[in-house]
Amino acid sequence: MTLYSDMQSAMVGKAFIITFLLAIITAAPLSAGEIKEEEGTIFTLWPLVDYRDSPTEGYSNLSILGPLIKFQHRGDDRDFAVRPFYFGTDNRRIGTAAADYLYPLASSDTSPESSSVQVLELYQKNIYRKDEEEKKEKGTMIFPFYISGRSEKYGPYTSFVPFYGDLYERFWKDEYHFIMFPLYGRTVKKGTTTSNYLYPIFSTTVGEKESGYQIWPIYGQSAKQGVYNKRFVICPFFMQEESGLDTDNPTRKFYLLPFYASTVSPKSSSHYYLWPFFGHKTDREGNQEEWDYFWPFWRKVQGEKRTLNSYLPFYSLDQRAESSKRWIMWPLFKHEEIGSAVFRQNRDNILYFLYTDDRQSWPKASGEKRRTALWPIYIYNLNPQGIKSLSIPAPVEPILDKEGIEKGWAPLWRLYQQKWNDKGDSAVSVFWNLYWHERRGADIAYEFYPFLAYRSEQKQSDIKIIKGLVRFRDDDGRKGLTFFWLPFGFHWGEKVGMVARSEP
């Protein structure tokens, strides 16, 4: 056993020494293994290290092990990633920071005004601060078991589901109170108190000129004088309701399902017979009528603001004042349009996310944006700054267009990436910079690691074979050839500028 361990240790040691020597040979000295000019630095040791900086743009990026580890600095923004486990960005000048932890598992967000942490939206903690001396916890949640926080009106609150709890100004109610839920619970909204016993079976409603009770699903009724009246019997088969009695549009509903259902008010009315086989709606305010036959497959809407002809799954066209939606052989093809003076959009979908083409423009701002994706092959983007990009493959982005996917996951599977603009500037990366190519105006640089590297800018060019094992340079006419990363070699010719100065 000891002999086997010694052999293993020796093998690991030899592998480390060989790897280290190869790294030294291929990296070479700074003058031979790195492309460095005043415009910036590019140093590669694929797939271990890839470093690039541009002092004129305030940009630097260090990638370790391809896309796995990233350090990036652009202006005041700093990014750090250990993909897919962590991606964080911060701006120390304005005091903001945001991070994703194995997106979408957890995230945090910090600013001078507040900070928040969430885990799958089930655990949440939010803190609001006016300044560093005064911090106030606004809420902590481990949904649905524990919720705490502070209400400006009612003060602090805490709940432990299902045993005991008090909540204020949360989840669309003013107050929640419960003990051994669903045995007992009470809610308050705008002065109306609803008490539940063995929720949702027994409940009572009490308020100003308001009362009600229910034994669900057998019978229930509630009323508020001059505001509403509600009643149901064997829910959902029979229901009768009057609402908005204190408004200019009182509404009456009557349901005897599945035979008949109606909703009538001064502004609109609807009647359904043997739902969903036939229905008719009238919107008097919008001068619009709708006919439904076996909803939602055969529908027709005719009005001043909307026209719809739907014969699903064969064809559907829905037109409004500034938008339209068309289906052909649903869900095979879908086309959507939005057109206004400030924003326009054309979107095509084939089989939902199999193929999407989304084109957006802002006529007054003279900007445009486009996103095209063929799942799982590629995704193409055009941003408002005129920069185009192509990524291959794209197994997730066509389905989930999320920033967290773009930052924390997508670089892991993008074998081919390209960015370019109409000025001719471009950047290409294959297999996480095993081969890369960059062009800025007349300046060009590319590398196929470790065999060939080339850079040309202004009147200088540099060619390296095996990271400088053989190197040829042309500095405005002054040429040089070196071997084995030696600082000396063969040189001939003179710089064009020097020749010009020597002439009489």
Closest CA to 299 of 321, 272, 322, 323: 272
Q: What is the DSSP string of 174-193?
A: EEEEEETTTTEEEEEETTEE
How far apart (Å, rounded) are the C-alpha atoms in residues 279 and 441? Answer: 64
The angle formed by the CA atoms of residues 341, 345 and 347, to the nearest 5 degrees, is: 165
Q: What is the pLDDT of residues 446-485, one digit of tens each?
A: 999 999 999 998 888 999 999 889 999 988 888 899 999 8
Q: Is the Cα torsion angle 320, 326, 330, 331 positive or negative in sign?
A: negative
Is residue 484 within 8 A of residue 25, CB to CB? The reply is: no
| Residue 37, C-beta contacts closer than 8 angstroms, at least 6 positions apart | 455, 457, 460
Q: What pLDDT score does 142 carry?
A: 85
For residue 386, how many other CB atoms are within 10 A of its CB? Answer: 12
How far apart (Å, rounded) are the C-alpha atoms in residues 497 and 484? Answer: 30
The angle formed by the CA atoms of residues 366, 367 and 372, to the nearest 5 degrees, is: 145
Which two structure tokens, joined as six digits, stand for 504? Answer: 């009489």
Is residue 290 within 8 A of residue 307, CB to CB? The reply is: no
How far apart (Å, rounded) are the C-alpha atoms in residues 345 and 37? Answer: 44
Q: What pLDDT score does 497 carry?
A: 57
Residue 306 to residues 265, 311, 462: CA-CA distances in angstroms?
20, 17, 65
Residue 314 one-letter amino acid:
F
Residue by residue, pLDDT tens for the chain (504 residues) are: 443 344 344 433 444 443 444 444 444 443 333 444 446 788 889 999 999 988 888 889 999 999 999 999 998 999 999 999 999 999 988 999 999 999 999 999 999 888 999 998 888 888 887 654 444 556 788 888 898 888 888 889 999 999 999 999 988 899 999 999 999 999 999 999 999 999 999 999 999 999 999 999 999 999 999 999 999 999 999 999 999 999 999 999 999 999 999 999 999 999 999 988 999 999 998 899 999 998 889 999 999 899 999 999 999 999 998 999 999 999 999 999 999 888 999 999 999 999 999 999 998 887 899 999 999 999 999 999 999 999 999 999 999 999 999 999 999 999 999 999 999 899 999 999 999 999 988 889 999 999 999 999 888 899 999 988 999 998 888 889 999 988 888 888 887 654 444 333
Q: Is the Cα torsion angle 400, 402, 406, 407 positive or negative in sign?
A: negative
| Residue 288, C-beta contacts closer than 8 angstroms, at least 6 positions apart | 282, 301, 302, 303, 304, 305, 306
For residue 105, how many other CB atoms are within 10 A of its CB? Answer: 13
| Residue 247, C-beta contacts closer than 8 angstroms, at least 6 positions apart | none
In this structure, what are the phi and psi dihedrals at residue 400, rounded to the nearest 5 degrees?
Answer: -120, 100
Is residue 491 within 8 A of residue 478, CB to CB? The reply is: yes
How far apart (Å, rounded) are the C-alpha atoms in residues 3 and 16? Answer: 20
Report the DSSP beta bridge partners of residue 81.
70, 87
Residue 295 one-letter amino acid:
W
| Residue 244, C-beta contacts closer than 8 angstroms, at least 6 positions apart | 227, 228, 250, 251, 265
In this structure, what are the phi and psi dihedrals at residue 500, rounded to the nearest 5 degrees?
Answer: -60, -40
Cα 33 to chain center, whole Å? Answer: 39
Which two structure tokens, joined as six digits, stand for 81? Answer: 């990633």
Q: What pLDDT score does 442 carry?
A: 86
How far apart (Å, rounded) are the C-alpha atoms in residues 245 and 437? Answer: 71
Q: What is the pLDDT of residues 273-303, one digit of tens each?
A: 998 899 999 999 889 999 999 888 999 999 9
